[in-house]
Structures are given as C-alpha cells and as structure tokens.
Amino acid sequence: MARPARAWQKMLSGRRLDLLDPTPVDIEIEDIAHGLSFVARWNGQTLGDYAYSVAEHSLLVETLFGRLSPKAAAKWRLAALLHDAPEYVIGDMISPVKAAVGPGYDDLDQRLSAAIHIRFGLPAAIPATVRKQIKKADKISAWMEATQIAGFTNAEADRFFGRPDPKVMADLAILLRAPLETRAAYTDRTAALLAQTG
C-alpha cells in the first residue's frame, strides 16, 4: 500500500505547516520574512548583484499602497505587506506558469492567505475595496521592476501593467539588498504595523 504524499513543510522556527490545511498557529513572521527574502521575483531574470526578492517587492507594495490610500488603517497596510506572503512556501510563479498550472495554485494561495491573515489579526478575506488598492500598488511595483531591472521598455510595461502615475512613484527606486538585510527590514516593518494595529 502506497504511503500518502507528504503535504507539510518544516519551517526554520520548528513549525510544521500543512500546505493543504494550514492553520494560523503554525505561521510565524520570521518564517515568512526568511522565505520571502530568498524567493526571487521574475524567476531571477533581473539585473543586479542580488535577486529581487518577494520580500523587497512586498515592502515596496506596502509603501505604494500607503501613497495611494494615505488614510488607510495600519491593518490594511499590513495586508498590503502580506499580499504575497503565501509565496514563502509555494514560491513566486510568473503569470504564464500560473495560467498553465490552473486553479490548483489559486486554491492553495487562498487557503494560505486566509491562515496568514487570521494569524496577524486580519479578516480571512480582505475587503474588495482594499484588495483593489493593493492590486493597483502591486501593478505599479511590477511596472517599476519591469522597467528598472527586468529589461522591459516603458511601452512593454505599459501594455502589461498599465502606465502608473509618476507622482505615486516619485523618489522611489527598486532596492537590491542581501537577503538577510531584506529579511530584517520585512520583519521590522511587520512589527511596526502590528504595533499600530494593537
């Protein structure tokens, strides 16, 4: 009789996260920050001495969300920071791969997102109006990444992500840092936002 496939992953914190049935008690911010700091955006096809990590991207999205929604509560800024948090265990798939994989990836992503949200005091499902603004910030970040480090022309990025308002991006740049530096920045920002939601 065949053994069932293992569906859990052991984290550096010692937690054992069941990917098919994740629970909030098995989620630690240190595991998320560590994992996301080592997951490369754009499948690693970017310029620079370091890969552009999902953690770095998430920090930028949270900043952009704050500019788009300056009166948003700290909990929604936290939701923006955590918008790609499931990728600490499932990785970052580029859109063409997600399309090829099908709905299974989205189902897994949604289950993990719900558990992560609950763990950090957010509703399992983020309100649609907030999700829309996070998505807008995500697309602006993607445009910046595409044009600054992923080799896209402005015209190509406009076609895929839409042309962002330059004022929203003013004095922001893509940061390429060592993973442990990014991990610390992500952990610190999470702590600051949690303190404001307290």
Superfamily of segment(s) 26-195: Hypothetical protein af1432 (1.10.3210.10)
pLDDT < 70 stretches in the chain: 4
Q: Which neighbouring-strand residues pair with 8?
A: 18
Q: 11 near 17, Cβ under 8 Å?
A: yes
CB 83 within 8 A of CB 130: no
Please tell me the predicted confidence (pLDDT) of residue 149.
Answer: 98
pLDDT digits (tens, 9 = 90+) for 164-180: 999 999 999 999 999 99
Q: Do 42 and 52 contact (CB within 8 A), yes or no?
A: yes
Using an 8 Å Cβ cutoff, are 32 and 191 in contact? no
